A and B are shown apart, each in its own frame.
Chain A
Amino acid sequence: MTPPNQQRLWRFHGGLHLPDNKAQSLGRELTQATVPQRLILPLQQHIGEEDKPLVAVGERVLKGQMIARSKAYISAPIHAPTSGTVASIGPEPIPHPSGLVATCIVIEPDGEDAWAELPEPMDDYQQRDRADLRERVRWAGIVGLGGAAFPTSVKLNPGPNVRIKTLIINGAECEPYITCDDMLMRTRAPRIVSGIKILKHLLEVEECLIGIEDNKPVAIAAMRQAVTDAGLQKTRVVTIPTLYPSGGEKQLIHILTGKEVPSHAIPAQIGVVCHNVGTTAAIADAVLEGKPLLSRIVTLTGDGVAEPRNLEALIGTPVSDLIAQAGGYTNAVYKLILGGPMMGIALHTDAVPLTKAANCLLVASREEAPDPSPVRPCIRCGECARVCPVSLLPQQMYWYARAKDFDKVQAYNLFDCIECGCCSHVCPAHLPLVQFYRFAKNEIWAQEEEKRKAEQARQRHEARQARLERLERERKAKLRKKKEALEKKKGAGGKEQDAKKAAIEAAMKRVAEKKAAAAAPKNTEGLTPAQQRQVDNAEARRRAAETEGEQEK
């Protein structure tokens, strides 16, 4: 029995009690996954700008070496998970709902697992500049490992005017089937607590609350013990009731502190920062050992896999490899889901890599993840509104999203929807409600982008028109000026003009004479009559040629 909290808890509206299905993957010990034949590292494994490769095909890379990076602020670099050779940099299938490919760096491990030179461990982090610590977290490529993949270093920098009062560590893991955080807390609680110490120092918080759902008694005990052992002050493990989606950041903050993160705002604005337990442990690795994010714990579960378990695997390991290490497929396999049953993405192939934010591979049977049943019309029963954790009216959002009336959908607060799937799950008509909201959000973003581009094009066009008109005006002005100047000159200098004319005429006369002289033959005195006749004939021929030439002209 978990001892009661001495802490008040709040409850959010709605939510669902779902069957846990966690026992399957907790029956075996956490195992290290073997290094695969190839590691596929997508250049985009985080929210923000895509990374650009720092290595070339054929280059040898060492374990922990940075191989891709972006200069943009919201980004996280990628490191080689083991030593090997860069086999290719090009499009590979990635775990994305579109099923499209994206640019990835493919590494063929050489089996040596040789480390690159790592930055020094910062055991004395308490004395270091906070900016240096953030830089270390950034260098390590750490992103939110709970699934959101937001670059952690950015989250750790709320700004100079923002005061953070409470640090919340998210060990809720509310989605069914997923147990990677549970396993991490059971086996590496002291590491997580080290990360908490670093975060407490970095953010200068007053208190820290570690929220864990009450279906994880072993993890709760382990974390409590680790907190006590570390002697941390004002740091408490708080047991929260098991209810989906308690692990959502805003929901967890509300449960533990009673505060609501305002719509379109970030938790830092109410003095709270929330990090996943996996992210916290990764921060400890980066600061205390100088190790970048190279691996993570992933849950392999579902009736479609023979030995459900948790594996600690290198980022970039192909999913097919991981499933093989979990005993391979059973005959019951039907769908492959990345994530949990409520919010996970169905993958169409297992030839995709494990990415930083991939927490679970649910290899589901037909019973676990049935085909969608035929859809009926909405009967306006209101079940969706009853379970919505954000107190939205999913019914109204559905009607308007279906009608593509995007103004009205937004009037019903579409962008507050966390896409948890509670509404779709309870709908008796089996409507794919969350799909409508995803579609609407994408359309609205696309429309805003188009508007922005259209506005930009309009401005450039208008500027161009203005420029052309200006050039035209200037040209006309110049012409006018020249004309005026010309006319002025005409009126004023008449005599000058005549003198000039006479000089030109005299010059032309001289030139004409010279020409005639040059043309006439020389040495014509004292010629014999025969020679004179020859000269005359030549003269006649020349004149004839000239006139012919002129006629031809």
Chain B
Amino acid sequence: MEFPTETSPHTARPNSVDTVMLRVILALIPGIVAMVWYFGWGTLINILLASITAVTAEALVMKLRHKPVLFAISDLSAVVTAMLFAIAVPPLLPWWLTVLGVLFAIVVVKQLYGGLGYNPFNPAMAAYVLLLISYPVDMTNWLPPRMLNDHPLGFIQTLHTIFAGHLPAGLTWDTVSGATPLDEMRTQLDMNRMISEIRQSPLWGDFGARGWEWIGNWFLLGGLWLLYKRVISWHIPVSMLSGLIVMAGLFYIADPNTHPFPLFHMFSGGAILGAFFIATDPVTAATTKKGQIIYGAAIGVLVFLIRTFGGYPDAVAFAVLLMNLAAPTIDYYTQPRVFGHKRGQT
């Protein structure tokens, strides 16, 4: 009797890339729901728009590269990139900016470098930074959180704003939009206000920034589920948040008047999203365990430094991109000791 021959191991493989990506998508859902609750339908519309653009773009590029299209897009990595990008940008971002960003992310940052697994930079973050630098006004046009919003936009109004490029009649940007808490804090600090004064602002929440603190919690929930399912390991999230909190804590102790309480840093902006979903992107992060700790900690430190001393209110994207550059070097110098070799000998 004859049999097919394959090479060992002859087992049903427990992991697969599509499962990993799908789980990341599922883990993002609680946070997305929270964002929609606090900031309206914009984020959801952006996610849909971005995902469709991303998948289409990837399909086109795969066709040009003569690769099986359906197989390539079924790994859902383009969808993950699109979702992270759409979560990062303001809810009312004009549609063509979203499309531009996603096209840049998929075609240039990911596919031109070789596709999944070959890109050195995080595509969503690179696209976010591109837009932030090129269109600073549109990219900083956030909405106030639900409880502070006098003019919440309905679904159709949001749709109209995003696709028409301007607000519905009767509304102006001044009335509709508001600064993010981090933005507000920077501006006020630059005006030499004290933290104690700034804290009185309604944008300050219970333990973080208003609205953002709860979004952070929901993303945290998703992140913990990813940890439980072993999609990500604890090294990067823990070290990143530790780096951020330790730095924030040191500066807070040194001067409580000009530096907020460390928990504020953790629960505002993209810190938690970054820690569990962005910095943990396996393709662009460090791979050795020791390396991941250094990588994560360095991101946390950079986030604090850029937020406090740099030119932008939120810094997760920049910090991640900077550490993406360093990841191969970190990997090279943090190789584990091989069984049967002496320490330090590779």
Contact = CB atoms under 8 A, between A and B. Distances in A.
Interface in B110-125: 115-118
Contacts of A320: 1
A81 to B, nearest CB: 24
Contacts of B10: 335, 337, 341-342, 344, 346, 362, 364, 368-369
B17 interface: yes
A336 B17 CA distance: 29
A18 B10 CA distance: 13
Interface string A380-395: 1111011001111101
A87 B342 CA distance: 55
A377 interface: yes
A196 to B, nearest CB: 27
Interface centre among A362, A380, A385, A432 (most CB of B within 10 A): A380
Contacts of B116: 376-377, 379
A441 to B, nearest CB: 14
A345 interface: yes
Interface in B290-345: 335-341
Contact of B13 (A262, A329, A427): A427
Given A379-B283, A393-B288, A254 B8 contact: no
Contacts of B5: 97, 99, 335, 346-348
Contacts of A416: 338-341
A435 interface: yes
A349 B17 contact: no
A13 B336 CA distance: 11
A391 B117 contact: no
A329 B1 contact: yes
Given A428-B15, A429-B17, A263 B338 contact: yes
Interface in A6-61: 12-13, 18
Interface in A401-432: 411-413, 416, 421, 424-430, 432
A265 B10 CA distance: 30
B2 interface: yes
Given A376-B17, A381-B282, A342 B3 contact: no
Q: Main SS of chain B's interface residues?
A: loop
Contacts of A254: 339
A265 B340 CA distance: 9
A335 B71 CA distance: 27
Given A336-B3, A426-B15, A260 B336 contact: no
Contact of B6 (A371, A391, A395): A371
B14 A425 contact: yes
The CB with the most chain B CB atoms within 10 A, among A343, A349, A381, is that of A381
Contacts, number: 167
Contacts of B117: 376-380, 429
B339 A343 contact: no
Interface in A230-276: 250, 254, 260-263, 265
Contacts of B34: none
Interface residues of A, number: 71
Interface residues of B, number: 40
Interface in A293-341: 320, 329, 334-337, 339, 341
Contact of B4 (A339, A346, A395, A411): A346
B183 interface: no
Nearest to B235: A382
A413 B6 CA distance: 26
A106 B199 CA distance: 91
A379 B17 CA distance: 8
Interface string B1-35: 11111111111111111011000000000000000
Given A335-B10, A381-B282, A426-B14, A349 B339 contact: no
Nearest to B71: A374
Interface in B47-79: 71, 75, 77
A329 B6 CA distance: 20
A370 B71 CA distance: 19
B287 interface: yes
Nearest to A383: B15
A99 B10 CA distance: 17
B20 A381 contact: yes
B17 A434 contact: no
A256 to B, nearest CB: 15
16 contacts: A13-B336, A254-B339, A334-B3, A335-B6, A343-B9, A346-B4, A347-B5, A348-B5, A372-B6, A382-B233, A390-B339, A391-B336, A393-B288, A393-B336, A424-B8, A427-B15
- Shortest 10 CB-CB distances between A and B: which pairs? A377-B117, A421-B9, A428-B15, A369-B10, A263-B340, A381-B282, A346-B5, A382-B287, A390-B339, A391-B336
Interface of B: 1-17, 19-20, 71, 75, 77, 115-118, 233, 282-283, 285, 287-288, 335-341, 346
